[in-house]
Amino acid sequence: MRTILAIETSCDETAVAILRGAELLASEVASQTEHEAYGGVVPEVASRNHLVHAPRLLETALKKAGVVLAEIEAFAATSGPGLASSLMIGASIAKGLALGAGRPYLAVNHLEGHLLSPFFGRDEEISPNVSLIVSGGHTLLVEVRGVNDYRVVGRTVDDAAGEGFDKVAKLLGLGYPGGPEIERRAANGNAERFDFPRSMLDSRDHNFSFSGLKTAVRYRLAEFKAEAVTPQLIADMCASFQAAVIEVLVKKTLRAARECGEKLVTLSGGVSCNQALRKEMAERCGAAGIRLLTAPPRLCTDNAAMIAFAASLRFQAGQSSEVSEEIDPNLALV
């Protein structure tokens, strides 16, 4: 059984995981709340925090896994895309550990971590599928033919879906990250009160746009006097905004699956924690005779288990990276 330790520090989550074969022995995540006051991630604050959290999480993960460093057969880290100063922390630690232990180092693409996460913990091959990755930094539709055999068929032309949730939450005076808070408020809201735009729903390509939707929320909100901005109004805006995002994501994913001739759809990334999105995607896939695989919510937001899983597939295939391999903030999936 191969034992792999992975570190994820691409943005503001510090995470360490230890995977033995298919068994996840430990998966530690420390989220940073310091950024809330700024309404977004401050790179230097994030990297300083990684430097504090990562060693502590390493110790805890090893203890929880009941493993000593000498038993780890490969060390992996996210090498991009992400914030340069954040990526450097995790990659430096993993490289140092690999060098110290005389074991291989594996550089992992964060997007591949998300993309493969729906298969994690399932006893099945990575079979061809159309994958929707929806996170704070990315909105991608990918035709997956197997591990490392990807074709990006659609992407956002402006804001990522999660970025849309975060920016709209900020407009509405809600906390960061915005997704979970918008989902919570939307549960008590009327999704039909505001008819927000479904941008690019009928475009011929598989691309997305969420910037106009955010602007529409801003303009509608500005029509109300301060005293009229009640919790119910906020809930209705959240529900209407969320419904617009979900409709576009679900319809365009199904259209891409149809065009690619795939009978399997996978859903990953932080926004895929959203229960309303999961429900709508499941219903539409079911009606179209398409199977849907989603990762459990703890594997949807940033974590190191997905990085360890992607690394394990590479390692099993006899691959590893040079310790001189650079991080790449703009690393593409293909």
Q: What residues make contact with ligand KG4 under the rule CB under 6 A? A: 11, 135-137, 162, 165-166, 177-180, 183, 269-271, 273-274, 301-302
With CB under 5 to 8 Å by kind, the binding choice for 28 among Zn ion, ligand KG4, none is none
Q: Which residues contact 186 (CB under 8 A, 6 or more apart)?
A: 235, 238, 239, 241, 242, 276
Does position 302 interact with Zn ion (CB under 5 A)? The reply is: yes
Closer Cβ to ligand KG4, 250 or 260, answer by number: 250
How is the beta sheet containing 149-155 ordered, strand by strand? 149-155, 139-146, 129-134, 264-268, 291-294
With CB under 5 to 8 Å by kind, the binding choice for 90 among Zn ion, ligand KG4, none is none
Number of other CB atoms surrounding residue 128 within 10 Å: 15
Q: Are the beta carbons of 15 and 303 closer than 8 angstroms?
A: yes
Q: How far is 193 from 217, CA to CA, in rounded Å?
A: 12
Selection from ligand KG4, Zn ion, none that 189 binds (CB < 5 to 8 A by kind) is none
* Cβ density class 111-123: b for 16+ within 10 Å, e for less: bbbbbbbbbbeee
Question: Which element (helix H / strand E) includes 92?
Answer: helix 84-101
In angstroms, give the least distance from the CB of 92 to ligand KG4. 20
Among Zn ion, ligand KG4, none, partner that 180 touches (CB below 5 to 8 angstroms by kind): ligand KG4
Nearer to Zn ion, 114 or 314 (CB): 114
Q: Please give the DSSP secondary-structure letter assigned to residue 35.
A: G
Structure tokens at 188: 């008590």
The distance of closest approach from Cβ of residue 109 to ligand KG4 in the complex, given in angstroms and rounded to an integer, is 12
What single DSSP character describes residue 46? H
Minimum distance from residue 270 beta carbon to ligand KG4 (Å): 2
Question: Binds 112, which of ligand KG4, Zn ion, none (CB < 5 to 8 A, cut-off by type)?
Answer: none
Which one of the spans 46-54, 64-72, 82-90, 295-303 is the region binding Zn ion (CB under 5 A)? Answer: 295-303
Stretch binding Zn ion (CB under 5 A), from 80-88, 230-238, 244-252, 297-305:
297-305
For the bound state, the minimum distance from the C-beta of residue 126 to ligand KG4, rounded and expressed in Å, comes to: 20
Stretch of 35-43, 127-135, 160-168, 219-227 contacting Zn ion, by CB under 5 A: 127-135
Q: b vs e for 214-224, b when ≥16 Cβ sit within 10 Å of the residue's Cβ? A: bebbeebbeee
Q: Is 135 in the site for Zn ion (CB under 5 A)?
A: yes
List residues near Zn ion by CB under 5 A.
135, 302
